[in-house]
Amino acid sequence: MKRFVLAGLLVWLPLAVTIWVLHTVFGLVDGLFGWLVATSQAVLPVAAFEPLQSLRRIPGIGLLVMGVLLLLTGVFATNIVGQWWLRQGSRVLHRIPIVKSIYSSVKQVSDTLFSSSGQAFREAVLVQYPRAGSWTIAFVTGRPGGEVQQHLNGDFVSVYVPTTPNPTSGFFLMMPRSEVTHLSMSVDEALKYVISMGVVAPPVSPVSLVPPAPPTAAVPRN
């Protein structure tokens, strides 16, 4: 009986968690679309608002509208005219007290994480944490800069150590590059390993199985 119950749990648990995550995401996006519709009620005339109310009743319409909105915003932001308007809007937001602190911080983080040329969260590494002899997976976020870099002697690297099973919280560390072991696994594979608490181990890369070549002895010259 216990074996059958566990087998059934292994079938339904991943499906239930997947449905719950998708339902949460859809609910969040639909809620945001509903807020936009409610806000437009005070701006648009009644004749133009009624079609929006009927669209709001269609399941998943919020996700579709937000996807189209993101696509159009990306097209607008990648041309010269759109970039000029975005710079003007950014200047206005940077002049508003309190708002400028929140906006500038979030923008710097998002630009670093999602920039195609950035190096943050592009590499998984192995570090000793929280003490020597204990190892965990971390993600490289860059190099220390500013005043912090002036107080560090040597080559240091910034890493993020996620917690398990929730990787959205963790610890930020600055460690010597010599104490960081680079891994050949991808970031997605490392995240699966962390979230599963080490149960779902990524496959071993053929590159990591090749032993390093022994150092060649110097040939004395006559």
User: DSSP for 36-55?
Assistant: HHHHHTTTS-HHHHHHHHHH
| H helix and E strand count, the chain | 8, 5
pTM: 0.55
Q: What are phi and psi of 208, to 5 degrees?
A: -75, -15
Q: What pairing do the DSSP bridges indicate for beta strands 181-182 and 170-176?
A: unpaired
Dist. CA 72–CA 55, nearest whole Å:
20
pLDDT digits (tens, 9 = 90+) for 136-169: 999 998 888 888 888 888 899 999 999 888 887 8
At residue 219 the predicted structure's pLDDT band, cuts being 50, 70 and 90, is: very low
CB atoms within 10 A of CB 39: 10
